[in-house]
Structure 1
Amino acid sequence: MANFFDEYYWVYVLKSIKDGKYYTGYTKDLPSRFEAHQNGLVESTKNRRPFKLIYFEGCLNQQDATKREKHLKTHYGKMYLGNRLKSYFTG
């Protein structure tokens, strides 16, 4: 039987502990992708390690995940995340 979580694509947001900036991406395997970011195996984030995973959501297919990732990178998507994670951002 396949793992329940293997059926989804994951959109995620990382916060760099080093520079305080955020990275948004998507993947089929969230634990492995997070590990790759932490180990410097992702070119776009290797100099910003370490990271904290601050948000993720599941999508039923890759097309939905890419659309959601793109949305979260827009002004309105950042506003959504700010409201969704309000208690995180305010401490």
Structure 2
Amino acid sequence: MPAPKFTYVYILRSENHSEIHYTGCTEDLPARLNKHNQGAVPHTAKFRPWFIETAISFRDPAKARTFEKYLKSGSGRAFTKNHF
């Protein structure tokens, strides 16, 4: 039986600007973090380096994307600030 495939919703925090964070979604968390830290993601390039503050795994990719969208909303940003 193959291992289950997960989709991760992650929150990155800038090592140099602790108040700056970024929320995203991926199936390969280590590779995605490397892309952020290499400057390959224009939105996050100027606040490098990044570290993973929080990552949550989902078996259902649709649920992961819905949660990511929520975290990027106004109430989701408040939730993130209070809980992560």
Give the TM-score range, shorter chain: 0.7 to 0.9
- Relative contact order (alpha carbons < 8 A, sep ≥ 6): 1 or 2 greater? 2
Q: Name the counterpart of 1:52.
A: 51
After superposition, the Cα gap between the structure-2 partners of 1:35 and 1:3, relative to the gap in structure 1 and judged at 3 Å, is farther
Superposition TM-score, scaled by structure 2 size: 0.83
Q: CA deviation at 1:82?
A: 3.0
Structure 2 counterpart of 1:11, which letter? V
Runs (5+) with no aligned partner, structure 2 = none
Aligned to 1:26: 25
More helix by share: 1
Aligned AA for 1:21? I
- Sequence identity, in percent? 31
Q: Distance in 2 between matches of 1:83 and 1:48?
A: 22
Question: In structure 2, do the counterparts of structure 1 residues 3 and 31 end up closer, same or farther at CA, with 3 Å as the change threshold?
Answer: farther
Unaligned runs of 5+ in 1: 86-91
Cα shift at 1:66: 1.1
Runs of 4+ with >3 A deviation: 1-4
